[in-house]
Amino acid sequence: MSTPLTDAQIDGALARLPGWSYSDDKLTRSDQFADFSEAMAFIVRVGLLAEQHNHHPELFNVYNTVTISLNTHDAGGKVTSKDIDLALAIQKFWHIRQ
């Protein structure tokens, strides 16, 4: 079972995750893309990355807007180091496209 992070640990991690926020026991980020195709391509990349990490986010898409939310089910739906690690990995290629 994963160990939930403290609010201070989450705040420290958010300093390394521009554009991400923390509320309702989730790390979340939303962004708009040029069009639906670009948004879907990004979702596919996130899905492949999530498989590599064996940790799967909530993904929500409306046309060109993608929202990603992360928390850990086996930690009671709280944020753990798994979520921070995946957010940092996602951030690397999110930053590349900007």
Separation between Cα atoms, residue 40 and residue 82, nearest integer Å = 24
- Its pTM stands at 0.93
User: What whole-number distance in Å separates Cα of residue 26 and Cα of residue 80?
Assistant: 10
Instruction: Count structural domains, the chain.
Output: 1
Task: Flag whether 2 is in a domain.
Answer: no
- pLDDT confidence bin for 77, thresholds 50/70/90: very high
Cβ-contact 47, 86 below 8 angstroms = no
For the CA atoms of 49, 53, 57, 62, the dihedral, rounded to the nearest 10 degrees, stands at 0
pLDDT band at 93 (very low <50, low <70, confident <90, very high): confident
Domain CATH for 41: 3.30.1360.20
Q: Which domain holds residue 53?
A: 7-97
